[in-house]
Amino acid sequence: MQGMSRARVARRIAAGAAYGGGGIGLLGAATVGVVLAEVQLAKRNVGNGHVDPPRADGRYGGAFAAAAARPTHAEPVRFAMLGDSTAAGQGVHRARQTPAALLASGLAAVAERPVDLRNVALPGAQSDDLDRQVTLILSDPSWVPDVCVIMIGANDVTHRMPPTRSVRHLSAAVRRLRTAGSEVVVGTCPDLGTVENVYQPLRWLARRVSRQLAAAQTIGAVEQGGRTVSLGDLLGPEFAAHPRELFGPDRYHPSAEGYATAAMAVLPTLCAALGLWPEEERPDVSRREGFLPVARAAARAASEGGTEVTAAMPTGPRGPWALLKRRRRRRIHAPDPSPLPH
């Protein structure tokens, strides 16, 4: 019943985004205000000593660079990262520890090709900044990304952006990138209930708001031809159990190990979007994979981290359907996780 309720809320938010509706309250306005005030207070308490994230742009997969120079070899994979501070790698000090660098080096290892990374993510960004970021990525017609990863949503929640507006901006970004010829993978809203300075019962409420937005993001992204990977519930239990290892020094953003956990969840879907990951002929029922109405798939994914949702049948008895998969996470040992000058 809870999953069905979350599916209905996510469907309402996504429908409001598609048809220009106003903000649909996820919880009572007063309750949401208290939750967000608590999260903002937590951010202020940890926000001192802010340091810009390291720049990770460049070419990854140095072991394959010489081969790529041969005329018969395929061109480097073009990979773009968009989103907020999590996508930018806030909280770590080395470029190779950022999620974009981890994904680029992992993608190079799987593809056995160099990967050119461009990261336009902005700390503090909300979903309404995605239009600017997409414009930056598509501004060079000679460098259209083969695949993009978007990680966004936490600032939308903490700044009380109406969820319909949030999803509308994300959907528009996915649509523009797909129209340009890029595959798109969205890491949905993280679980704000894992922030250490947010206490019960507000921790539970923050988790609920985060999951509702994540489910609505999934519907919006999948309907525009993207894929999503849920991060909230994946990171939530692990962060709660190992806060000293998975949170960074500011106690708000992930640590290097936290980013590695997220990257391991996103990498299989990133590779699958480019046809580089082995696909089973049918969903694995033992892993509770299967075809579902997109709203139900989105709601289930929001509660079960590391779950991929991608478009399946365009229509069914209950509207569009999606394929829900639980890909096995693998740590990729890339030969050199640092970018090369090029």
Output b/e per residue, 305-322; b: 16+ Cβ within 10 A. bbbbbbbbeeeeeeebbb
23 C-beta neighbours (distance < 10 Å), count: 15
230 C-beta neighbours (distance < 10 Å), count: 30
| CA atoms of 243 and 329, how far apart (whole Å) | 21
- The amino acid occupying position 116 is D
Which residue shows structure tokens 């999951």? 211
Nearest to 86 by CA among 188, 168, 164: 188
SS3 for 20? coil
3-state SS of 210-258 is HHHHHHHHHHHHHHCCCEEECCHHHHHHHHHHCHHHHECCCCCCECHHH
The 290-293 sheet, strands edge to edge: 58-60, 115-119, 77-83, 147-151, 183-187, 227-229, 308-311, 321-325, 290-293
Which residue shows structure tokens 């996915």? 174
276 neighbors 190 (Cβ within 8 angstroms): no
Residues belonging to the active site: 85, 250, 253
253 neighbors 90 (Cβ within 8 angstroms): yes
3-state SS of 86-150 is HHHCCCCCCHHHCHHHHHHHHHHHHHCCCEEEEECCCCCCCHHHHHHHHHHHCCCCCCCCCEEEE
